[in-house]
Structure 1
Amino acid sequence: MKHRLRIAARLTAASAHATAPAPERAEAPELVRPPAGREPPVAGAGYRRSWFWTAYDALAQALDHRFGWDRLPTPLGLAVLVGIRNRLRKHNLYDPGRLPSAGPPPPVPDPKGHEVRRTANGSYNDVDHPAMGMAGTRFGRNVPLEHAYAETPERVMTPNPRMISRRLMTRTRFQPARSLNVLAATWLQFMIRDWFSHGISPSDDPWTIPLEPGDDWPEPLLTIPRVPADPTRPPGYEGPATSLNTLTHWWDLSLVYGLSDEEQRALRTGTRGRIRHRPSGTRAMAGGKADPTREPGFWLGLVMMQGLFEREHNAICERLHAEYPAWGDDELFERARLINAALVAKIHTVEWTPAVISHPTAVTGLRANWWGLASEPINRALGRISRSETISGIPGSRTDHFGVPFSITEEFAAVYRMHPLIPDDYSLRHLRDDSRIRDTTLRELSGPAALRVASAISAADLLYSFGTEYPGAIVLHNFPRLLQEFERPDGKLVDLAATDLIRCRELGVPRYNEFRRLLNLRPASGFDTLTDDPALAEELREVYADRLEDVDLIVGMFAEKRPEGFAFSDTAFRVFILMASRRLNSDRFFTPDYAERVYTRTGLDWIANSSMTSVILRHHPELRPALHHVGNAFAPWRRSGVTA
Structure 2
Amino acid sequence: MARTSPYRSGLVWTVYDRICERIDRRVGWDKLPRPLALLLLIGIRNNLRRENLFDTNVAPATNLPPLSEPSAQTRSQRTPDGTYNDLETPRMGMAGARFGRNVPLAAGAAETGDRLMTPNPRVVSRRLMTRTTFQPATTVNVLAATWIQFMVKDWFSHGAGDATRPFDVPLPDGDPWPTPPMLVPRTLADPTRSGQEDGYPPTFTNINTAWWDGSSIYGSSTDQQRVIRSGVDGKLNVSADGMLILPDDPSLNPTLVPGFWTGLAMMGGLFTLEHNAVCDHLKAANPTWSDEELFQRARLVVCALIAKIHTVEWTPAIISHPTTVTALRANWFGLVGERFTRTFGRISGSEILSGIPGSETDHYGVPYSLTEEFSIVYRMHPLIPDDYAVRSAVDDAHIADYTFRDLAGPAGGQVLQDVAMADLLYSFGTANPGAIVLNNFPRFLQEFERPDGKLADLAATDILRTRELGVPRYNEFRRLLHLDPATSFADLTGGDHGLAATLDDVYGGDLEAVDTIVGMFAEQRPTGFAFSDTAFRIFILMASRRLNSDRFLSSDFTPEVYSPAGFAWVRDNGFTSVLLRHYPQLRPCLHGVKNPFAPWVSSSGPA
- Give the TM-score category using the shorter length: over 0.9
Matched, 1:374 2:333: no
Tell me the CA shift for residue 111 of structure 1: 3.1
Q: 2:570 aligns with which of 607, 611, 618?
A: 607
Correspondent of 1:597 among 557, 560, 564: 560
Within a 5 Å distance, the mapping from 1:13-92 to structure 2 comes to: 43-45=4-6, 47-92=7-52
Asked if residue 268 in structure 1 is aligned to residue 220 in structure 2, the reply is no
2:524 is aligned to 561
Q: Deviations 1:36-94 (Å, cap 9, x if unpaired)?
A: xxxxxx5312x212221111101111110110000000000000000000000000001
The answer (yes or no) to whether the contact 1:280–1:292 under 8 Å persists in 2 is no
Q: What's the offset of the Cα at 1:228?
A: 1.0
Amino acid in structure 2 at the alignment position of 1:602: A
Residue range with higher mean Cα deviation, 97-106 or 566-575: 97-106
Secondary structure in 1 matching 2:600: coil
- Quote the residue 2:319 is aligned against: 357
Amino acid across the alignment from 2:482:
N
The Cα shift of 1:304 comes to: 0.5
Which of 486, 489, 506 is equivalent to 2:451?
489
Amino acid at match of 2:25: H
Deviation at residue 557 of structure 1 after TM alignment: 0.2
CA distance in 2, matches of 1:336, 1:564: 38
* Aligned twin of 1:30: none
Measure how far apart 1:603 and its partner are: 1.2
Which residue of structure 1 aligns with residue 85 of structure 2? 125
2:288 counterpart of 1:321: no
Aligned residue identity for 1:153: G
Describe the shift of the 1:585–1:559 C-alpha distance in structure 2 as closer, same or farther (beyond 3 A): same
Mapped to 1, the partners of 2:470 and 2:376 lie a distance apart of 11
Letter in 2 for 1:182: V
Give the equivalent residue in structure 2 for 1:22.
none
Q: Which residue of 1 aligns with 2:481?
A: 519
Please point out which of 414, 423, 435 is paired with 1:473: 435
Shift of 1:123: 0.2
- 2:397 is the counterpart of 1:425: no
105 and 166 in structure 1: CA distance in 2 versus 1, 3 angstrom threshold: closer
SS in 1 for 2:163: coil
Partner of 1:246: 207
**Alpha-carbon separation, structure 1, partners of 2:100 and 2:196:** 21
Counterpart of 2:477 in 1: which secondary structure?
helix
Shift of 1:103: 4.8
Q: Deviations over 1:460-481 (max 9, x none)?
A: 0010010011100000000000
User: Who is 1:259 aligned against?
Assistant: 220
Instruction: Report the Cα offset of residue 283 of structure 1.
Output: 10
CA contact (8 A) 2:363 2:545 kept: yes
SS at 2:402 equivalent: strand
Q: Is there any run of 5+ residues in structure 2 with no aligned partner, and where?
A: none
Structure 1 residues 236 and 514, CA gap change in structure 2 (3 angstroms):
closer
What's the counterpart of residue 153 of structure 2?
A: 193
Q: Could you say which residue in structure 2 is the equivalent of 1:583?
A: 546
Relative distance call for 1:492 and 1:642 in structure 2 (3 A) is same
CA contact (8 A) 1:313 1:340 kept: yes
Aligned to 1:452: 414
What one-letter code is carried by the residue in structure 2 that aligns with 1:354?
Answer: P
**Structure-1 separation of matches of 2:537 and 2:50:** 13
Q: What CA RMSD, in Å, does the superposition of the two structures yield over aligned residues?
A: 1.6
In the superposition, relative to structure 1, how do residues 236 and 486 fare at CA in structure 2: closer, same or farther (>3 Å)? same
Residues 283 and 90 (structure 1 numbering): CA distance in 2 closer, same or farther, change over 3 Å? farther
Partner of 2:113: 153
1:107 CA drift (Å): 4.4
Which residue identity is paired with 1:97?
A: N
Q: Which amino acid aligns with 1:635?
A: A
Give the AA of the match of 2:355: G
Alignment of 1:501-540 (within 5 A): 501-532=463-494, 533-540=496-503
Shift of 1:100: 1.8
Corresponding position of 1:25: none
What one-letter code is carried by the residue in structure 2 that aligns with 1:606? W
CA contact (8 A) 2:242 2:273 kept: no
Is residue 237–residue 244 contact of structure 2 (8 Å, CA) maintained in 1? no
Cα-to-partner distance string for 1:297-351 (whole Å, 9 max, x where unaligned): 1000111111100100010111111111111111111100000000000000000
Alignment match, 1:32: none
The secondary structure found in structure 2 opposite 1:225 is strand
* Aligned structure 1 segments of 4 or more residues deviating by more than 6 angstroms: none
1:214 aligned residue: 174
Q: Aligned to 1:448, what secondary structure does the other structure show?
A: helix
Partner of 1:628: 591
For the residues of structure 2 that align with 1:75 and 1:180, how far apart are their CA atoms? Answer: 26
Q: SS of 1:629's equivalent?
A: coil
Q: Which residue of 2 aligns with 1:36?
A: none
SS in 2 for 1:481: coil
1:233 to 181, 193, 208: 193
Aligned residue in 2 for 1:311? 273
- C-alpha contact (below 8 Å) 1:108/1:130 kept by paired residues: no
Structure 2-normalised TM-score? Answer: 0.97
Structure 1 residues 590, 65: closer, same or farther in 2, change over 3 A?
same
Tell me whether 1:330 sits opposite 2:284 in the alignment.
no
Paired residue secondary structure (2:409) = coil
- Render the CA deviation track for 1:97-121: whole Å, top value 9, x for unaligned: 1112235675442134011100000
Contact 2:171–2:181 under 8 Å retained in 1? yes
Q: Give distance in 2, aligned partners of 1:432 and 1:58.
A: 55
Counterpart of 1:321 in 2: which secondary structure?
Answer: helix
Number of equivalences: 601
| Post-superposition offset of 1:290 | 4.5
Q: Any unmatched runs of 5+ in structure 1?
A: 1-11, 16-41
Which SS does the other structure have where 1:482 is aligned?
coil
Alignment pair present for 1:167 and 2:130? no
Task: Give the Cα–Cα distance (whole angstroms) in 1 for the partners of residues 549 and 113 of structure 2.
Answer: 36
Q: 2:397 is matched with which residue?
A: 435
Equivalent AA in structure 1 for residue 295 of structure 2: F
**Does the 8 A contact of 1:175 with 1:473 survive in 2?**
yes
**How big is the shift at 1:281?**
5.7
Contact kept in structure 2, 1:561 and 1:569, CA below 8 Å = yes
On the 8 A contact 2:520/2:531 being kept in 1, the answer is: yes
Percentage identity across aligned positions? 58
Counterparts of 2:60 and 2:428, CA distance in 1: 47
1:471 counterpart SS class: coil
Deviations 1:348-372 (A, max 9, x none): 0000000000000011000000011
Map of 2:264 onto structure 1: 302
Q: 1:338-417 counterparts in 2 under 5 A? A: 338-417=300-379
CA distance in 1, matches of 2:445, 2:599: 24
| 2:434 partner SS | coil
Matched-pair contact (CA < 8 Å) for 2:64–2:192: no
* SS of aligned partner of 2:401: strand
Secondary structure (helix, strand or coil) at the match of 2:362 reads: coil
Q: 1:224 aligns with which of 184, 198, 219?
A: 184
